[in-house]
Chains A and B, each alone.
Chain A
Amino acid sequence: MAELHTLTITQAHEKLKKKEITSEELVRACIKRIESVDKNFNAVVHRNFERALIEAKKVDTKNVFNHPLTGIPYLTKDVYCEEGVPTTACSNMLQNDPTSSASGGLHGASYVPPFDSTTTKRLKNVGAISLGKTNTDEFTMGASTETSCYGVTKNPWDTTRVAGGSSGGSAAAVAADECMFALGTDTGGSIRQPASFCGCAGMRVTYGRTSRFGVMSMASTLDTIGALTKSTEDYAVVLGAIAGRDPLDGTTGDQPVPDYRAGLQKSIKGLRIGLPKEYFIEGIHPEVEKAVRDAAEVLKKLGALIVDVSLPYTKYAVATYYVLCPCEVSSNMARYDGIRYGHTVKSADNLVDYYHQVRSEGFGPEVKRRIMIGTYALSAGYFDAYYRQAQKVRTLIKQDFDAAFQKVDLLLSPVSPHTAFTIGANSADPVAMYLEDVFTVAQVMAGIPAMSVLCGFAKSVTPSTVEGLPIGLQIMGPQWGEEMILRAAHAYEGATEWQRRKPAL
């Protein structure tokens, strides 16, 4: 029998249902895995093992495994509030664990929320077991987890490289079989890019498909809640459990949630798939381009029609994003003032001085950069030139996609122009780090779903590794089009064998 931690959700569920294994055994297998390998790449930042074992025993006692997530252990990005579990956004603003590797020298304790996010609550209600928290860039601001107060998450395929970000901890944890699945967030690519770098399945859903309640927000009109999984089928299972209208998040839509898993079985014959020429530009790594074009061929053999399309405003997406996102950041981060939660100082002259001291000590450099860019762009005299203009360009980018989806059902591109980069490669140049998002922010402007699917390995980048580095195929769909994306991804996975490969740890 395969080692338990390597199972997918659907495989583990079958075994639980047939009483071949217990939830406690599954949870123990993942705990053992985390304890033996996580020191190599630093994906897990809070361990909640005692409570996980208690919950698993409860599930086993109840002995009803009707839902495919009952008794399934998972990890959560460190921005999802869970009642009684430290949740720190990997920021010194919220963490003060004397045993952690982060240096803070803070007063008080790490933030422990007294409530659950809607997503973790929905998972709890179906009996999924939370094992702890995964690493992220500070307040999800970054593309490499290098801005985390707990240090970088390394790539399980090559530990000299980043796992990507901001959901890098979740991606590494899934790739290394530390859990059955992990939750992430995607504001500008933070699920798709780490999924691509680590070889997981990861989708950014339609904005409003899942609830943002109880998840620490970076940019409220752009943030989305999703997962990273070992297979597309697993993604369909998780999305089915977390999607849908939430009265606590007014931006969630009341569109019915389809049976995503059942939808996987439908044929992709006749599906029209577009290759946007703006995503196959100079500078893209040749092995990445080849893998994506090969994937298009695979889909063509399965009956899809491949056509060329154009999204002319693509080149303005990163600039638009890096106006709108920091503007929302500067507003969202105002809540971290040391009053209701978080970092505090003892020697403030008055309230305004207290705010200054708390925020200067609590926030790291990337958070400060975004707050200041946003503050500047929103200040009197600059608002129209930056924020208003960016909102208008956002309209044009959205219209690009509206027009493309008149002609095709799905779009295909790389997730990133390259594979995982070396740790530290972009640290000194904020603009270079922002350009990491070059293929993952236009979708955000349009609010459409897009998924990363493992579509090959680049061997030339790291000849010393066994497999090379994973390459992510991006499949984009129209608003609320998750079911069609999952169907195409599942068909692709069925026709290829990339997923069977595992990092040598």
Chain B
Amino acid sequence: MPSLTPAQVRHIAKLARLNLDDAEVEKYAKELTNILGYIEMLQEVDTKGVEPTAQVTGRANVLRDDVIWETPIAEPDALLATSPLPIVEHQIQTPSAHG
């Protein structure tokens, strides 16, 4: 039975860009361990020689002509306007990537 340690939960949270306090780490370690315990049953299925299924549409490489639509779905400025951050010269000003 796999179980997640608090250190593993902290690592996963970091990868997922989530801050967790100590109480949350403890809570999620328990809950995620229970969930992993349940999905563990998949290990008993013999899948030797079975191809994985990623999607069921039977479609592959759906292409369209490289043509600009006369009427866009939305104007670029309208899409920028939904940002909660300052807009400078049609760009979003984010906090510094370098700290």
Interface residues of A (CB under 8 A from B): 83, 107-108, 111-115, 207-208, 221, 247-248, 250-251, 253, 313, 315-316, 318-320, 322-323, 330, 337-344, 348-357, 359-360, 363, 368-369, 371-373, 375-376, 379, 385-386, 388-396, 398, 429-431, 434, 445-447, 479
Interface contact B51-A354, CB-CB below 8 Å: no
Complex alpha-carbon distance, A207 and B9, angstroms: 34
Interface contact B95-A348, CB-CB below 8 Å: yes
Assuming the contacts A352-B17, A372-B16, asked whether A251 and B57 have C-beta atoms less than 8 A apart, the reply is yes
Interface contact A356-B82, CB-CB below 8 Å: no
Contact with A along B72-99 (1 / 0, CB 8 A): 0111001101111100000010111111
Residues of A within 8 A of B79 (CB): 114, 340
User: Which single residue of chain B is at the shortest CB-CB distance from A385?
Assistant: B43
Assuming the contacts A115-B74, A351-B94, A389-B42, asked whether A479 and B56 have C-beta atoms less than 8 A apart, the reply is yes
17 A-B residue pairs with CB within 8 Å: A83-B74, A113-B82, A115-B74, A207-B55, A221-B55, A316-B45, A323-B42, A338-B84, A351-B97, A352-B97, A353-B99, A368-B28, A376-B36, A393-B42, A393-B47, A429-B34, A431-B34
The 5 closest A-B pairs by CB, nearest first: A391-B52, A447-B56, A344-B84, A114-B78, A350-B99
Interface contact A430-B95, CB-CB below 8 Å: no
Residues of A within 8 A of B41 (CB): 315-316, 319
Complex alpha-carbon distance, A128 and B79, angstroms: 26
Interface contact A434-B59, CB-CB below 8 Å: no
For the complex with contacts A250-B62, A322-B35, A376-B4, 4 further pairs of A-B residues with Cβ separation under 8 Å are A247-B64, A339-B94, A389-B43, A391-B54
A81: shortest Cβ distance to chain B, in Å?
10
Which of A341, A350, A379 is close to B83, meaning CB atoms less than 8 Å apart? Answer: A341
Interface contact B28-A372, CB-CB below 8 Å: yes
Complex alpha-carbon distance, A446 and B58, angstroms: 12
Residues of A within 8 A of B45 (CB): 313, 316, 389, 392-393, 396
Is residue B13 within 8 Å, beta carbon to beta carbon, of the partner chain? yes
Interface contact A253-B59, CB-CB below 8 Å: yes
Interface residues of B (CB under 8 A from A): 4, 8-9, 12-13, 15-20, 28, 31-32, 34-36, 38-43, 45, 47, 50-57, 59, 62, 64, 73-75, 78-79, 81-85, 92, 94-99
Residues of B within 8 A of A339 (CB): 83, 85, 92, 94
User: Which single residue of chain B is at the shortest CB-CB distance from A342?
Assistant: B84
Interface contact A340-B92, CB-CB below 8 Å: yes
Interface contact B35-A359, CB-CB below 8 Å: no
Interface contact B50-A372, CB-CB below 8 Å: no
Interface contact A351-B96, CB-CB below 8 Å: yes
Secondary structure of the A contact surface, majority rule: helix
Which of B62, B73, B84, B92 is close to A108, meaning CB atoms less than 8 Å apart? Answer: B84
Residues of B within 8 A of A479 (CB): 56
Complex alpha-carbon distance, A390 and B59, angstroms: 21
B32: shortest Cβ distance to chain A, in Å?
6
A349: shortest Cβ distance to chain B, in Å?
6
User: Which single residue of chain A is at the shortest CB-CB distance from B80?
Assistant: A340
Interface contact B84-A379, CB-CB below 8 Å: no
Interface contact A350-B97, CB-CB below 8 Å: yes
Residues of A within 8 A of B35 (CB): 322, 369, 373, 430-431, 434
Interface contact A349-B51, CB-CB below 8 Å: no
B1: shortest Cβ distance to chain A, in Å?
13
Complex alpha-carbon distance, A375 and B43, angstroms: 19
Residues of A within 8 A of B16 (CB): 330, 359, 368, 371-372, 375
Assuming the contacts A322-B38, A368-B28, asked whether A357 and B54 have C-beta atoms less than 8 A apart, the reply is no
Assuming the contacts A250-B59, A395-B52, A396-B45, asked whether A430 and B34 have C-beta atoms less than 8 A apart, the reply is yes
Complex alpha-carbon distance, A94 and B52, angstroms: 35
Complex alpha-carbon distance, A183 and B1, angstroms: 41
Residues of B within 8 A of A113 (CB): 74, 82
User: Which single residue of chain B is at the shortest CB-CB distance from A386?
Assistant: B39
Residues of A within 8 A of B9 (CB): 372
User: Which single residue of chain A is at the shortest CB-CB distance from B13?
Assistant: A372
Which of B31, B53, B75 is close to A430, meaning CB atoms less than 8 Å apart? Answer: B31
Complex alpha-carbon distance, A248 and B64, angstroms: 10
Interface contact A323-B39, CB-CB below 8 Å: yes
Complex alpha-carbon distance, A250 and B58, angstroms: 12
B2: shortest Cβ distance to chain A, in Å?
9
Residues of A within 8 A of B47 (CB): 389, 392-393, 395-396
